[in-house]
Structure 1
Amino acid sequence: MSSGTHGKEGSAPMWKALGPHLPCGAPGVGVSTLDVFLTSHHRQEERPESIAYPHLRIRIKPFVGDGNRTLSHNPHAHILPPGHDE
């Protein structure tokens, strides 16, 4: 039962069915990772315009710190209510 199956036969039939497909998936994951790594350095995306919509970024309680930035704030990707961090 600890393997995630709840039948009497166990997980052997599942692994027999998945076994031939696992070696085919690993190169695909590797090629996709390489593609993302090589193309991500060449693109320089522009920041979207900061539009102050009234229904976005509603603060009921302030965040820890200055009130706007979370602990995982990324100044390049996240837009604050007054606009972008510079």
Structure 2
Amino acid sequence: MATFGRVSQALARSSLYQARRQLSAAAAAGAHGEQAAKTWKILSFVVALPGVAVCMLNTYLKEQQVHEHERPEFVPYAHLRIRSKKFPWGDGNHSLFHNGHVNALPDGYEGHDK
């Protein structure tokens, strides 16, 4: 068993030594690093940017297909839209990113006939 341990340690040392030599030789050459940088730059422009453009186009087209939905009927539940103090902007009743079509106020939707 001890012999197996010594052999495996010797193999590990030799493989680590070889890896260190290869890395130092590659660093000394310097050409490999420049070629890798060029490859990644080309891949970024040829693969990544068109991929992002295709995803943006897909999202835009899907959004165009969605029909505007009717908003749900307002039900004044006591545990929703609690205002213990006014917001520090505007009239104090609208949240910072308020959307009048989607977000209801405590007394109903804006422009909604009661």
Fold in common (TM above 0.5):
yes
1:51 and 2:75 matched: yes
Structure 1: tracts of 5 or more residues without a match: 1-11
Compute the displacement of 1:71 (Å).
4.0
TM-score (norm 2): 0.46
Residue in 2 that maps onto 1:72? 97
1:60 and 2:52 matched: no
TM-score (norm 1): 0.57
Compute the displacement of 1:82 (Å).
1.5
- CA distance, structure 2, for counterparts of residue 46 and residue 26 of structure 1: 37
Once the two structures are aligned, what percentage of the paired residues are identical? 41
Letter in 1 for 2:82: I
The alignment's C-alpha RMSD in Å is: 2.9
Deviation string for 1:64-86 (max 9, x for gaps)? 33331134322122111112112
* Greater fraction helix: 2
Structure 2: tracts of 5 or more residues without a match: 1-32
> How many matched pairs?
72
Structure with max Cα Rg = 2
